Structure 1
């Protein structure tokens, strides 16, 4: 079962040493170990599938204490999501971070994202770049699936596009060039 981190990191608070992540209109506080688990939940570049087991294996390598307990707690407060991917897509949206750096003559089908003047933090294929660039205009990831289904050459459903959207999502998260947020109450009423 894939795991996804939710929220936008807003920094560490001193003297408590807690990390804050904004989810919707609230802040969630995390200990150092919990924050480490949340960071690892972003996944690694080149791994479109990133499961709770992958996260826990990497946490063990990094010697993070009580990673299983932290994962359970973070799932309980909504900063980690693992499970029903349709429900996840219907209740979360992608928000972009950083700047689109475009493609190159050498690789016209690959698009860089990062900060001007620095090496890119992610290089996305056309589909992933489209999600990064336009995903925030959709009220949810599920809506993105519906749009992709509507413009497909063959009749397909939004469900048929879910796997592709989630695969496109991982390099955006792993590169730190976007974050997931919960839908606003107004958007939730639409679903």
Structure 2
């Protein structure tokens, strides 16, 4: 595996204590119709939500910004607004984020809160790129990207959750199962194996994958 990829050191590290932004859904693209304005569609579960230019911009930047913006900076509402002071869609961006929360396409979650557990019971994460394994030189780093083109490297625990969580009914169930796995024992980074600790650490470390679209968050079947 090549090492020409951004490396995340945040997964399963110290937890934040403030709400982070988590975009929900799968982007379907710009849609043109002969009898209506251009809009942008995002799939949310088994439904499709149409967004305006301002809304799709806000939903997109809620994933994070590409480098040189550091991916280890907690992606909060305040950080997002400060990073885009002069963009053409910055005016009203704060309110647009609230609109997306109301549509279920964005969540503002403290990883250690009870709301995080409720969020995990109604959502899951899904891999959107390929796993590229690790290397003899860096066995602790696991690549995600495209063949011959790693995009991001993560720790083993995060890599496991990235490619296996969607096999469970929801993210909370995945965290519970992960806590019982052999990989959770004797962790060198000192994280806990209780599901709440695993969930908080996962949400804390998910940003680098969201920023490069290596993972998506979506509601689970039957969630409202």
TM-score interval, smaller chain: 0.7 to 0.9
- Segments of 5+ residues of structure 1 without an aligned counterpart are none
Q: Normalising by the residue count of structure 1, what TM-score does the alignment of the two structures yield?
A: 0.87
Distance in 2, Cα, partners of 1:135 & 1:168: 15
| Residue 194 of structure 2 corresponds to residue 168 of structure 1 | no
**Closer, same or farther: CA 48–138 of 1 in aligned 2, 3 Å:** farther
- Name the residue aligned to 1:131: 161
**Match of 1:60, SS?**
coil
Shift of 1:179: 0.5
Q: Normalising by the residue count of structure 2, what TM-score does the alignment of the two structures yield?
A: 0.75
Distance in 2, Cα, partners of 1:7 & 1:173: 12
Shift of 1:61: 4.7
Shift of 1:131: 1.5
Aligned length: 186
- Which residue of 65, 72, 83 maps to 1:58? 83
Query: Could you report, residue by residue, the CA deviation over 1:18-68 in whole angstroms, capped at 9, with x for unpaired residues?
Result: 111101011111112211111111125632632122222223253423201
Distance in 2, Cα, partners of 1:177 & 1:156: 25
**Match of 2:84, SS?**
helix
- Name the residue aligned to 2:43: 22
- Name the residue aligned to 1:3: 21
Does the aligned pair in 2 maintain the 1:97–1:176 contact within 8 Å? yes
Q: Which structure ranks higher in relative contact order (CA pairs < 8 Å, sequence separation ≥ 6)? A: 2
Does the aligned pair in 2 maintain the 1:6–1:179 contact within 8 Å? yes
Q: Comparing 125-134 with 38-47, which one deviates more in the overlay? A: 38-47
- Segments of 5+ residues of structure 2 without an aligned counterpart are 1-18, 110-114, 187-191
Distance in 1, Cα, partners of 2:59 & 2:85: 14
Distance in 1, Cα, partners of 2:215 & 2:28: 14
- Which residue of 144, 149, 153 maps to 1:113? 144
RMSD of aligned residue pairs (Cα, Å): 2.2
